[in-house]
Amino acid sequence: MTEPKLRLQEGLDKLKKLDPKTYRIFDISQGQVMRMSALKEELRSYILRGVIQDAIAARGWGCYQYHYRRDALPEGTKREFAYISTDTDTFASAEADTPAEAILLTYVAALEAKG
């Protein structure tokens, strides 16, 4: 599996190309918070999730997220999952280490599927 921070950065790079407006909203928002807060990583994650959720809603798409444990994973380990329905025949999903990474990767996959 790819290193989580690399997957997140790859997702952000794709977001920048596929949906520049949403990327810009995230970039501006996280920049403002990063200058003001010691809770940088936690807030960055919340901002990213919120921006992506707003972008999904603005397109009229459906989304849900959850975390679960797998028996094959070490005890106490959980995985995050996100699922997007863009219309009746297009779906995207991703599994990741964090909720922000899961929704970002799923959104990027949905954008790519829609072309």
pLDDT at 15: 93
User: How many domains, in total, are found in the chain?
Assistant: 1
pLDDT in tens, the chain (115 residues): 445 567 888 999 999 999 999 998 888 887 776 666 656 677 888 889 999 999 999 999 999 888 776 666 666 667 888 999 987 677 898 988 889 999 999 999 999 988 7
Cα–Cα distance measured from residue 61 to residue 100, given in angstroms and rounded to the nearest whole number: 18
Residue 88 · residue 97 · CB < 8 Å: no
Please give the angle made by the CA atoms of 80, 86 and 89, to the nearest 5 degrees: 110
Domain encompassing residue 61: 4-114
Which residues partner with 39 through β-bridges? none
- Give the CATH number, domain containing residue 32: 3.30.160
Calculate the CA 11 to chain-centre distance.
Answer: 8
